[in-house]
Amino acid sequence: MRPGTSHISHVTSPDLLDWVRPEIRRLSAYHVPDASGLVKLDAMENPYHWPEDMLDAWLAELRQVALNRYPDPAARELQAALRQAMHIPDDAALLLGNGSDELIQLLALALRHPEPGRDAVLLAPEPGFVMYRMIAEFVDMQYQGVALGPDFDLDADAMLAAIEAHQPALVFVAQPNNPTGNVYSEAALRKVVKAAPGWVVIDEAYAPFTDRDCLPWLNEYPNLLVMRTVSKMGLAGLRLGLLAGPPAMIAEVDKLRLPYNINVLTQASARFALEHAEIFDAQAAHIRDDRAGLSEALSAIDGLQVFPSEANFILFRTPAGRARELHQGLIEQGVLIKCLDGSHSRLTDCLRVTVGTGNENKKFINALNTLM
């Protein structure tokens, strides 16, 4: 062996793995498929780049960033920019996270069941965002899913019954919902917020693509928090989420946040981007228009059931038993979308496609037509 090198064994004793919590051993890691060389329509990303002059101005801004210094731990300038851009109520406090996922985890870590000796319960409609369940299992909470109605609508009666039975510490409701794309009725959602004994989080990750807005509700309900992200507006690479709500509640969750969780490049880049919010608003409007055209094109293909969407993706059901075959066939034709078949009983034979550029959407529809 040459000087300065060492041999590291990659053989791990089973006894060492026994130290890992059993519930973690049972989990599978979140899988992100390789999209190299493919039209990427699987991850609900904004497909549009920044204008060239905006890129130049952004790079000039980044040259001023002090990489040798720690970031502002409270990201105060960024918080002010987010408040203005998203019209967050003045008396609501803000907490920023390294993506919404970090905020979900902080909330799950913070709350307990009101009865000693019982696990805290995290409750959410299903099918819904997979990270609610995964993070509940990470932190040893009890996860309780509540089935959506026949058209993926929020079943208020079932939600209220589950709340009464399980007394959840934490309720998550995504609006619009992922992976179904639909929005819930205001009346049903208000019933859930009123009935919950603990904290309720309305997850508005897809706010740029719908006219629904629950931020004003923060002035009405003392147990409500609203979560958003800049990922879907076109800044997915920055990993920035925000939680808005009553100052006392936000202060407790903030105790769990690791110092400097929002790095200097994210703070500078997001702040700069929000100064050009009109660019992202125009892109979101374009995506909404293309969503309508893509939905129409899908509906014209015999054998598909296309679900309404107010997000930047569309869920559709294929003929029985064909979802995985079509998913693989699309990959072979250079298009990657999301296969949801097998992820939940209500999503049998379902695929989900992100709204891409006009050319990307056309390539997807042509490929799917060929396969069908």
The model's pLDDT over 99-145, given as tens digits with 9 standing for 90+, comes to 999 999 999 999 987 777 778 999 999 999 999 999 999 888 999 99
Q: Is the pLDDT of residue 3 over 70?
A: no
Tokens (6 digits) for 256: 């769990």
- φ, ψ (nearest 5 deg) of residue 316: -145, 150
Please name which of 28, 81, 35 lies closest in space to residue 262, comparing C-alpha atoms: 81
Q: How many CB atoms lie within 10 A of CB 338?
A: 19
CA distance 244 to 87: 11
Q: Is the pLDDT of residue 30 over 80?
A: no
CATH 3.30.930.10 corresponds to the domain 23-51+278-371: no
Contact (Cβ atoms closer than 8 angstroms) between residue 267 and residue 82: no
Q: What is the CA radius of gyration of the chain?
A: 22
Listed by start position, the domains of the chain span 23-51+278-371, 66-276
> pLDDT tens across 284-299, in order?
999 999 999 999 999 9
Query: Rounded mean pLDDT of 167-192?
Result: 97
The pTM for the full model equals: 0.91
Query: Which bin fits 354, alpha (ψ -120 to 50), beta or left (φ > 0)?
Result: beta
Confidence (pLDDT) at 25: 77
Confidence of residue 27 (pLDDT cuts 50, 70, 90): confident
Tokens (6 digits) for 66: 């002090």
Percent of the chain clearing pLDDT 70 (strictly above): 94
Q: Is the pLDDT of residue 26 over 90?
A: no
Q: Is the pLDDT of residue 240 over 60?
A: yes
Q: Which CATH class is domain 66-276?
A: alpha beta
Q: How many CB atoms lie within 10 A of CB 171?
A: 29
Query: Rounded mean pLDDT of 13-25?
Result: 78
CA distance 264 to 204: 25
CA distance 347 to 315: 9
Query: Rounded mean pLDDT of 291-315?
Result: 97
Strand partners, 314: 353
Confidence (pLDDT) at 21: 78
Q: Is the pLDDT of residue 17 over 90?
A: no
Confidence of residue 20 (pLDDT cuts 50, 70, 90): confident
Q: Which pairing describes strands 241-245 and 93-97: parallel, antiparallel, or unpaired?
A: antiparallel
> pLDDT tens across 252-275, in order?
999 999 999 999 999 999 999 999
Q: Is 82 exposed, middle or buried (0-12, 13-18, 19+ CB in 10 A)?
A: buried
